[in-house]
Structure 1
Amino acid sequence: MHIKFLAMTAIILLLSNCANMNESDCLNADWQLIGFEDGSFGKNESHVSQHRKECAEHGVTPDLMEYRNGHFDGSKRFCTANNGFSRGRHGKDYSRSCPEQFEAEFLKGFSDGQTLYGLKKILSQRAAELESTYKEIDWLEHAIADKSELMIADGLKRDQRLMVRNEVAQHQQQQVELYNTLPELKQEFEHALQSYERGKDKFSYY
């Protein structure tokens, strides 16, 4: 029964990835397992202070040696180049939780992942700029068409027609200016896309 309870506790902690230890958790804690889970999730060893604070309310003090042993083993899982790359490329942070023995390998992958994340972010920005320009050109096209029809509508006074005509001329000028920016925006997008694709190829070994 005790083993089943600990197994269930481990699953719950694994799924929730949070501390919030209640009285039962503290009284039945396997500190090596808890340390292992924290290490596997990339939590710093100092996270034991959170467990200490929660369990102090129930008169329980974490076994620091057991926790550290478990955390070290969990860190072996977390602190790999592949995991570092995965976290970096998804824009996640790193809390300096890796022991010195594993940190260099993790940081190599993390740095490469951050590089690819940065390239993708630039690509997304360039794509958004290009899409926004096309949308604005399309909006102006419709606005020009609507105002052109209004300009020849019955019942419009001369000064009103002049005002609408000026608005049409302004929209047309704006449209010309936007069309003139398209070549540069397309070039920047293509450059960002090529850089991102080269980055994916470069880091494909992860």
Structure 2
Amino acid sequence: MRQRLALGSILLSGLFLGGCATTMDQAECLTADWYSIGIEDGSRGQTMDRLTRHRKQCSEFGVQPDVQAYQQGRYEGLDYFCTLPNGLEVGKRGQTYHNVCPAEMQYYFLTGYRLGREIHRVRTDMRRNRSQVRNVEEELASAETTAERKGELRYQLRTMEQEFGRLQSRVEYLEQEERRVVVSKPSPMAKTN
């Protein structure tokens, strides 16, 4: 229980710091708990390149990372990163997945990630559509716009509104799918890809 609380504290501090610091200073290198650093990096989906950056920075102060402790911690941290709900959130934020999940966890992460990426893509398209609609409406309202051009713009506006309706339906479907997938964790045996 105590270990889980400590792990939770490490993960929370990692969420608040969220990768703000890309390097370690001398004090951090000298007092580093490489297992905890590994957990934090793993829980954020960092690649092993992160250890290379730590190693380079700390070598300036004559400190070498404990690679084994870091790798053990990182692998444990990946248990928190490589979940279906986290994959969904990473995808919805439009973040890139760096193929860090071990094979036995990757199916669940990718199930969420792919759905999240699609939600992100459709919402981005919706925002783009709304921006284009505002531009067309501004041109329509302009006194300098000719009657012929206004006719073209009205047609474009109708087309954009139809597209927005299609995107709205798509995002509603994807959000229903999100609720379904999170409630009923899919089986890796149901893989189709």
TM-score (norm 2): 0.79
Query: Against the structure 1 CA distance between its residues 14 and 182, is the aligned structure 2 distance closer, same or farther, given a 3 Å change threshold?
Result: closer
1:100 positional shift: 2.5
Letter in 1 for 2:96: D
What do you get for the CA RMSD once the two structures are aligned?
Answer: 2.3
**1:129-163 deviation digits (Å, cap 9, x = unpaired):** 222211211113xx4xxxxxxxxxxxxxxxxxxxx
Structure 2 Cα separation of the partners of residues 101 and 14 of structure 1? 28
Q: Paired residue for 2:87?
A: 84
Q: Report the equivalent of 2:66.
A: 63
Give the partner amino acid of 1:92. Answer: Q
Instruction: Confirm whether residue 179 of structure 1 aligns to residue 165 of structure 2.
Output: no
1:13 shift after superposition: 9.2
- Which whole-Å CA distance do the structure 1 matches of 2:157 and 2:13 have between them? 54
Tell me the SS of whatever aligns to 2:23.
coil
Q: For the structure 1 residues 97 and 14, does the alpha-carbon distance in structure 2 shift closer, same or farther, using more than 3 Å as the test?
A: farther
Which of 23, 33, 38 is residue 30 of structure 1 equivalent to? 33
- 1:48 corresponding residue in structure 2: 51
Match of 1:201 among 173, 176, 185: 176
Q: Is this contact kept in 2: 1:88–1:117, CA < 8 A?
A: yes
Contact 2:115 2:174 in 1 (8 A): no
**Which of 102, 107, 111 lines up with 1:104 in the alignment?**
107
- Give the TM-score, by structure 1 length: 0.75
Q: Secondary structure at the match of 1:36?
A: helix
1:188 Cα deviation (Å)? 1.5
Question: How far 1:127 moved relative to its partner?
Answer: 2.1
Change beyond 3 A, Cα 1:13–1:177: closer
Q: Distance in 1 between matches of 2:37 and 2:29?
A: 11
CA separation in 2, counterparts of 1:37 and 1:201?
A: 32
Answer yes or no: is the 8 Å Cα contact 1:79–1:106 preserved in 2: yes
- SS in structure 2 at match of 1:204: helix
In structure 1, C-alpha distance between the alignment counterparts of 2:110 and 2:157, rounded to whole Å: 39
Q: Which residue of 1 aligns with 2:187?
A: none
Q: Aligned partner of 2:154: which letter?
A: Y
Q: Percent identity?
A: 29
- Which residue does 1:15 correspond to in 2? 17
Gaps of 5+ in 2: 1-8, 183-193
Tell me the number of residue pairs that the alignment of Structure 1 and Structure 2 aligns: 171
Q: CA deviation at 1:57?
A: 1.3
